[in-house]
A and B are shown apart, each in its own frame.
Chain A
Amino acid sequence: MSETVISPDSREEALHSGHHPDLQHHFDDMEQQKEASSLGMWVFLAQEIMFFGGLFLLYLIYRMNYYQVFSLASSSIDVKWGAINTVVLIGSSVTMAMAVHSAQLGHRKLLVLFLIGTIILGGTFLGIKAVEYKAKYDEQHIPGMDNFKFVPERDKETGKLPNGISAEAAEAYAHNTAFQRNARIFFSLYFVMTGTHALHMIVGIGILIPMVILAWKGRYDSSYYTPVENFGLYWHFVDIVWIFLFPLLYLINRTPHLG
């Protein structure tokens, strides 16, 4: 076996000896190498399912126990930004799928273009997330801070309080220790779940930037694009997490009165 090390020289050698330069010595052929890599990525994603699953489980238990508080607290999140971000993320998922598609067909420039598009849309998502976090900071809804205070607020359009509660009740909640503690639990879950999701996107963009450079240099072609494909799996997984976060955090209490 002569193709044990992949360096520029050995790439040349490997080409001359009839082997694909990207084939590692412990695999029989490119097909087997690719399948092993894809399987490994899916095992990693199975772990990610359990990781986020734990957070969703925590959310489920607390929401059942503090149903009223969760729906009141959810009403304070701006659904407009959440909806825009959902569309932005769906868009970035499509650009990523198209990047893999371009790599499969060996279109180098299209691949670079779609990867950059994914970075831009991912960055837009994080920017909007920052705007949302800033709004929560201004509203004193950061659970770990001393000034934390959650008071159910009137709807900007209808002027109604959520869940049909009275103005006196809303004021009483402001001084109710148990209510404030439970509201902290909702916002803790909000920040941990969206924060972990955002962290995954930051890591994703950190991987995308060198990938764009390598793609531009022609590192990937139709015979070898496994890194692009596996990164696509990661990006789509992060997208799936948001599919569940959006309804569970933003949309649980958008009806005129308590459901």
Chain B
Amino acid sequence: MSEHVVPVRVYLLVFAARIAGTLTTYFAATVDMEAMFKTSFPLNSLVALTIAVTKAVLVILFFMHVKYSTRMTKVVVVAGFFWLGIMLTITMSDYLFRALGSPIGVGGPK
């Protein structure tokens, strides 16, 4: 419930995790993982964004007390990110595949 008092220890743990995450993101960015694993898949971006999402989830759950809040609040939080997902997915599916639908195979933004 909203009356829940989060122990200071939890705040400090999240703080430590976020500092560690920031350092990891920085050093991961200085390593060319795509060349290392011989792939064209954007590994560096994937690693950076995975760490970023993890940090954001920690902030939302503990600093913003969503872990301890009512179901109604949780639904609103999830809905907010779900709608963001709709916007990103539908827009990107258009940008990525628009060229496929055109008769001469071109037409995507350049």
A contacts, CB < 8 Å to B: 31, 34-35, 38-39, 42-43, 45-46, 49-50, 53-54, 56-57, 60-61, 64-65, 79, 83, 86-87, 90, 93-94, 96-98, 101, 104-105, 229, 232-233, 236-237, 239-240, 243-244, 246-248, 251-252, 254-257, 259
B39 to chain A, nearest CB (A): 10
Contacting residues, chain A, for B32 (C-beta < 8 A): 255-257, 259
Choice from A34, A46, A255 contacting B30 with Cβ under 8 Å: A255
B60 to chain A, nearest CB (A): 7
Asked if A39 meets B59 with Cβ closer than 8 Å, knowing A98-B8, A101-B8, A251-B48, the reply is no
Q: Mark B76-110, 1 if CB is under 8 A from A, else 0.
A: 11011101100110011001000000000000011
Q: Please, how many angstroms separate the alpha-carbon atoms of A232 and B18 in the complex?
A: 18
Asked if A39 meets B73 with Cβ closer than 8 Å, knowing A34-B2, A255-B44, the reply is yes
Contacting residues, chain B, for A38 (C-beta < 8 A): 2, 69, 73
Choice from A87, A237, A247 contacting B29 with Cβ under 8 Å: A247
Check B64 against A50 for contact (C-beta < 8 Å).
no
Tally of B interface residues using CB under 8 Å: 53
Asked if A61 meets B109 with Cβ closer than 8 Å, knowing A42-B77, A42-B80, A53-B87, the reply is yes
Minimal Cβ-Cβ distance residue in A for B110? A65
Total CB contacts across the A-B interface at under 8 A = 135
B84 to chain A, nearest CB (A): 4
Contacting residues, chain B, for A248 (C-beta < 8 A): 48
Check A240 against B59 for contact (C-beta < 8 Å).
yes
Check B76 against A42 for contact (C-beta < 8 Å).
yes
Check B83 against A60 for contact (C-beta < 8 Å).
no
Interface residues of B in 22-47 (CB under 8 A from A): 22, 25-26, 29-35, 42, 44-45
B7 to chain A, nearest CB (A): 9
Asked if A243 meets B6 with Cβ closer than 8 Å, knowing A50-B87, A232-B64, A251-B25, the reply is no
Choice from A96, A105, A255 contacting B5 with Cβ under 8 Å: A105
Q: Please, how many angstroms separate the alpha-carbon atoms of A31 and B8 in the complex?
A: 23
Minimal Cβ-Cβ distance residue in A for B42? A259
Check B64 against A233 for contact (C-beta < 8 Å).
yes
Check A49 against B64 for contact (C-beta < 8 Å).
no
Check B81 against A254 for contact (C-beta < 8 Å).
no
Choice from B15, B79, B87 contacting A57 with Cβ under 8 Å: B87
Check B70 against A101 for contact (C-beta < 8 Å).
no
A103 to chain B, nearest CB (A): 10
Q: Please, how many angstroms separate the alpha-carbon atoms of A43 and B81 in the complex?
A: 12
Asked if A45 meets B80 with Cβ closer than 8 Å, knowing A38-B2, A57-B91, A86-B22, the reply is yes
Q: Which 7 A-B pairs have the closest CB atoms?
A: A46-B80, A255-B32, A251-B29, A247-B48, A53-B84, A254-B29, A259-B34
Q: Please, how many angstroms separate the alpha-carbon atoms of A254 and B31 in the complex?
A: 8
Asked if A39 meets B56 with Cβ closer than 8 Å, knowing A98-B11, A251-B25, the reply is no
A22 to chain B, nearest CB (A): 15
Contacting residues, chain A, for B110 (C-beta < 8 A): 65
